Structure 1
Amino acid sequence: MLFSELSLCTQLVKAIPTKIIAPSRVQQLAIPVILNNQDVLALAQTGSGKTYAYGLPILQRISQVSLMNLAAVVIVPTRELASQVAQNLHPLAQALGLRVEHACGGEAIESQIERLTTTANLLVATPGRLLALVQQGVVTFSEVKSVVLDEADRLLDMGFVKDINVLMSMMPAGQRLLFSATMPVALNTLAQQILSATHVRIQAQVLNSAVDDIAQTVYHVNKGSKAQALIHLVHTNQWQQALVFVNAKADADALCKKLLKAGVRAAALHGDKEQALRSQTLEEFKTGIHNLLVATDVLARGIHIDALPVVINFDLPAQAAVYVHRIGRTARAGLTGVALSLVSHSELAYLEAINTLTTQSLRLNELAGFAVTDKPLSGSSKRAPRDKQANRRTMNKRSASDFSKRNPTR
């Protein structure tokens, strides 16, 4: 199938990048329905082309009604995703004489207010910043015809449900589109609240599944050996570009230091970094200045790098759905990719949850030279923290007593 067969106008079809030859499955299913002004709940894997699936038909509908004000709003969970979506939609909008703008935290609101003095036809924004702009009277929804919740499951995971409810209550009646990679219970509840009873549900692949073109490997290693195991894998495979996920901000910085000490060109990226530094670091990673980017989940949905070959879970996420989002950074737009995970004994329950959610059977592999010597924790062998503290106090008292006996003059 070709994009020209989806009732899209010639200007839009010509504006689609030449590297995108044919519409993806979710685009084939969603574009005709959205053009028909129906509400949609679309479930599709990360990297399957969701932005064009809603962006192309929405922009065409805006161009057909000749609205001069804001006509469509796309709400996303992260700053990086807001920038990415706006960047992808800009040339398409330009081909129709329309304007796309984005707004998010991390940038001075004054500069965004200045940009929005020129009306945008489509606005991509994070919930908190969008609410602030509305409250200041900078953005009005009076002519909004379509609202998209992109990465809707992540919006709920990150605690934006209250802001979402407030924003949706401000919107006039119109088209509602929910796009998500997974379908948690909370998202089902939200869908029932904001979508029409006649909405169309689109499921482009097996629910909660990972892209088939991702080769997934799990290595069982000691928790304390993970950094050396990662360094070994980087040197052995000579990866020129790999995205490494950790669970904590402090761990991102600590791991980055170890990688740099081992001669690996690495940088850390997490929510405590200033937005300007985040943008600079991401750009340096894209251009090859850094081989490895160590990131937390704040960016699991916001990073898009063309042909990213490798994603590594240095830590397994506590939520199984996050695993799907993380590895979805590779094998995008029909390409292949590699996803590696380093799993210690304490993370085996997370691996089991991932297998259950994705209906896979990811097995543990040994990594040559990194034998697992840690013992599994059990109720009988694990000592309570309070007991450990008590033992330390006892040892300190004994040491002090022994010291006094050995040094009577003191």
Structure 2
Amino acid sequence: MTIPKPSTSPEPSPESLTFAVLGVNSALCSVLPAALKHPTRVQQLAIPAILAGRDVLALSQTGSGKTLAFGLPLLQTVYQQLQQLAGAKPVSSLASNAQALVLVPTRELAQQVTMALQALASQLSPVPLKIQLLCGGIAQEEQLAELAAKPQLVVATPGRLLDLCTQSHISLDSIKYLVLDEADRLLEMGFWPDVQKLMAMIPKRKQTLLFSATLPEALDSLAGKLLTNNPQRVEASTRNAVAAEIEERLYLVNKGSKAQALIALLKQYRWPQVLVFISARDDADAIAKRLLKAGINAAALHGEKDQTVRSQTLADFKAHRIQVVVATDLMARGIHVDALPVVINLDLPSSAPVYVHRIGRTARAGANGLAISLVCHGEMLSLTAIRNLTARELPLASLADFPVTDKPSERAREDGTENKVAPKRPPRDKQANRRSLNKHSIKAFKGKR
């Protein structure tokens, strides 16, 4: 189904809008943090549509308030239904199967979304609204004990939820509201098979909400098939846009000089908090060790770490007990660190949308931030893809004390375009192949004796 394009109506003045004007009830408005005086653009557009019962596809920049954009109407709808039940039953007997499900791609994001929603739900009275976190890394027995309390809202990663459903520990028969947070990631092949299996367990009559900062055009049709109930498309910013508050600096350096350049930058500027992104888990550990040897308080964070270690590392980073976290793209989506000043890409991601998510860890909620990328010649094709996606020039500058001596690769020219001429194989490789052929032919000859 084709989702109607958003209207081009002028943006209302933020001062003229409140959450109450959008339809958020007094119970929820009363428990909102004092700092949340006016809704963000995505909240202004999405909340009324969700409260009206429409399916929604919402695209908005990182750090723009998407969690509350779906979280507030979700909490309100479920809470109102609980209140109606409370009129006929004692509060203690209101246990029922979960009505709302929020799916997210990572454990860290699942924990963050749960905490954000629980902070509001815990203050609602007199009817208790229970929220359950279901993700890997937490003992299943512990989660089963909590499920016995019959939560009304579940936040989960697909793998753990599918395991529990398969074992009949939880039923999705009562789900009326489904949210795919970081929807583009959940629609990709890594998660999509599990998501499909879960959706087959959910009633067809439900409200579906898709939220993301990026959405490749290739996934548009798939997203459209999921939204069937008078869907509305909400674009609070240009598709795949980078927040204007992020200053981007890109430096061309030798591939072998990146670690030294990182250490030099950290020692020169002494930022209180820095999130460094790198693609490989082993490299994250190695870089963290090099930083520690250089006297920089650092830790690595990736999917092979025990969940207790992952949670503690993130908590220590947020509490300023760790200055630098070297992370894989586990940290690229949705994770919020208050006023994080700097993100550094030690390498460029192979997927251009991941770049948008990575640097979106800074300059959140209207704050300013700095995103630095250390780029080598071999990453020119990735840089071109990022430039095309974001429609930004992203010029490369030189970094003091780190002259570039590497030569452009055969596959990519200086301007990032691909060289279609096949590179010549080095002579030593030909010699190695001849030696291998000689070995094979000798073996074959001996086998015939």
Find the counterpart in structure 2 of residue 83 from structure 1: 111
What SS does the corresponding residue of 2:312 show, helix, strand or coil?
helix
Cα deviation, residue 10, structure 1: 1.3
Once residues 89 and 157 of structure 1 are traced to their aligned partners in structure 2, the CA distance between those partners, rounded to angstroms, is 26
Find the counterpart in structure 2 of residue 141 from structure 1: 172
Matched, 1:73 2:101: yes
Question: Unaligned 5+ residue runs, structure 1?
Answer: 395-410
Once residues 226 and 13 of structure 1 are traced to their aligned partners in structure 2, the CA distance between those partners, rounded to angstroms, is 48
Deviations 1:272-320 (A, max 9, x none): 1010111111111111221110000122115221111111100000000
C-alpha contact 1:330 1:338 (8 A) present in aligned 2: yes
Find the counterpart in structure 2 of residue 18 from structure 1: 34
Matched, 1:371 2:403: yes
Given the alignment, which residue of 228, 236, 251 partners 2:283? 251
Matched, 1:155 2:186: yes
Say what the alpha-carbon RMSD is for the aligned residues. 1.9
Identify which range, 278-287 or 81-90, moves more after superposition. 278-287
Find the counterpart in structure 1 of residue 429 from structure 2: 388
Once residues 109 and 385 of structure 1 are traced to their aligned partners in structure 2, the CA distance between those partners, rounded to angstroms, is 54
Deviations 1:58-105 (A, max 9, x none): 111111222642110000000000000000000222233311111101
Letter matched to residue 37 of structure 2: I
Cα deviation, residue 189, structure 1: 3.0
1:10-409 → structure 2 map (5 Å cutoff): 10-66=26-82, 68=94, 69=96, 70-96=98-124, 97-157=128-188, 159-172=190-203, 173-196=205-228, 198-378=230-410, 384=425, 387-388=428-429, 390=431
| Residues 157 and 299 of structure 1: CA distance in aligned 2, closer, same or farther (over 3 Å) | farther
Once residues 283 and 389 of structure 1 are traced to their aligned partners in structure 2, the CA distance between those partners, rounded to angstroms, is 53
Cα deviation, residue 157, structure 1: 3.7
| Residues 302 and 48 of structure 1: CA distance in aligned 2, closer, same or farther (over 3 Å) | closer
C-alpha contact 1:312 1:340 (8 A) present in aligned 2: yes
Once residues 363 and 211 of structure 1 are traced to their aligned partners in structure 2, the CA distance between those partners, rounded to angstroms, is 18
Identify which range, 234-243 or 148-157, moves more after superposition. 148-157
Find the counterpart in structure 1 of residue 23 from structure 2: 7
How many residues are aligned here? 394
C-alpha contact 2:62 2:334 (8 A) present in aligned 1: no
Cα deviation, residue 382, structure 1: 5.5
Once residues 433 and 264 of structure 2 are traced to their aligned partners in structure 1, the CA distance between those partners, rounded to angstroms, is 36
Find the counterpart in structure 1 of residue 4 from structure 2: none
Letter matched to residue 304 of structure 1: H
Once residues 170 and 385 of structure 1 are traced to their aligned partners in structure 2, the CA distance between those partners, rounded to angstroms, is 56
Deviations 1:17-44 (A, max 9, x none): 2222311100000001101111000011
Once residues 169 and 229 of structure 2 are traced to their aligned partners in structure 1, the CA distance between those partners, rounded to angstroms, is 33
Once residues 162 and 24 of structure 1 are traced to their aligned partners in structure 2, the CA distance between those partners, rounded to angstroms, is 33
Once residues 433 and 193 of structure 2 are traced to their aligned partners in structure 1, the CA distance between those partners, rounded to angstroms, is 46
Question: Unaligned 5+ residue runs, structure 2?
Answer: 1-16, 86-93, 412-420, 436-449
| Residues 30 and 142 of structure 1: CA distance in aligned 2, closer, same or farther (over 3 Å) | same
Once residues 71 and 133 of structure 2 are traced to their aligned partners in structure 1, the CA distance between those partners, rounded to angstroms, is 14
Once residues 399 and 20 of structure 2 are traced to their aligned partners in structure 1, the CA distance between those partners, rounded to angstroms, is 49
Aligned sequence identity (%): 52
C-alpha contact 1:11 1:95 (8 A) present in aligned 2: no
Once residues 314 and 158 of structure 1 are traced to their aligned partners in structure 2, the CA distance between those partners, rounded to angstroms, is 26
C-alpha contact 2:110 2:157 (8 A) present in aligned 1: yes
Cα deviation, residue 383, structure 1: 5.5
